[in-house]
A and B are shown apart, each in its own frame.
Chain A
Amino acid sequence: MENRPLLRSTLAIYTVLFIGFLYAPFVVLGILSFQSGPEGGPQFPIIEWSTYWYRHIFGLTPPSRVAPLPIGEALVRSMTLAFATMVTSTVLGTMTAQAFRRRFKGSGFVFYLVVLGMIVPGVLVGLGIALVANTLGIPRAWWGTAFVAHVLYTFPFAFLVMLAIFNRFDKTVEEAAWSLGVPPMRTFRKVTFPLIFPGVLSSMLFAFTLSYDEFPRTLFAAGADLTLPLAIYGTFAVEIHPNIFAFGVLTTLFSFSLLAVYGFLMALSVRSAKKVAIQEEIA
Chain B
Amino acid sequence: MAYDLELIGVGKVYDNGTVAVRDFDLQVEKGEFISFVGPSGCGKTTTLRMIAGFESITSGEVRIRGRRINDLPAEQRPTSTIFQNYALFPHMTVRQNIEYGLSVKGLSKADRRQKAAGIMEKLELLDVADRRHDVLSGGQRQRIALARGLAVEPDILLLDEPLGSLDANLRKSIQNELKLLQRNLGITFIFVTHAQSEALVLSDRVIVMNRGEVEQISPPYELYTRPKTRFVAQFIGRNTNIPGTLKGRDGDIAGVETGYGALRGFLNDSTLSDGDDVIAVVPSEAIDVYPLTASRDELIAQYQGNVVEGLVRTADVVGHTVFYVIELSDGREVNIESHIEKYRDAFETGAERVYVTWLPNEATVIGKG
Contacts and interface: CB of A to CB of B under 8 A. Distances in A.
A194 interface: yes
For A170, A178, A190, A272, the residue with the greatest tally of chain B CB atoms inside 10 Å of its CB is: A178
Interface stretch (A31-39, A180-188, A253-261): A180-188
A237 interface: no
Given A175-B54, A175-B74, A279-B90, A180 B85 contact: no
Contact of A282 (B91, B105, B152, B165): B165
B78 to A, nearest CB: 9
A55 interface: no
Contacts of A187: 75
B85 A279 contact: yes
B73 interface: yes
A276 to B, nearest CB: 5
A191 B152 CA distance: 17
A180 to B, nearest CB: 3
B134 A172 contact: no
Contacts of B53: 178-179
A195 B81 CA distance: 21
A195 B91 contact: yes
A107 to B, nearest CB: 12
A278 interface: yes
A78 B304 CA distance: 97
Given A178-B74, A181-B75, A183-B75, A274 B134 contact: yes
A179 B85 contact: no
Contact of B85 (A178, A272, A283): A283
A183 B80 CA distance: 14
A181 B87 contact: no
B318 interface: no
A275 B83 contact: no
B110 interface: no
Given A175-B81, A275-B132, A184 B75 contact: yes
A90 to B, nearest CB: 20
B101 A181 contact: yes
A275 B134 CA distance: 6
Interface in B76-111: 76-77, 79-81, 83-91, 100-101, 104-105
Interface of B: 52-54, 73-77, 79-81, 83-91, 100-101, 104-105, 132, 134, 138, 145, 148-149, 152, 158, 165
23 contacts: A175-B74, A176-B88, A176-B89, A176-B145, A178-B75, A179-B158, A180-B100, A180-B149, A180-B152, A181-B101, A181-B104, A181-B105, A181-B152, A182-B75, A183-B104, A184-B73, A186-B104, A272-B90, A275-B91, A275-B134, A278-B90, A278-B134, A282-B85
Interface of A: 170, 172-173, 175-184, 186-187, 190-191, 194-195, 272, 274-276, 278-279, 282-283
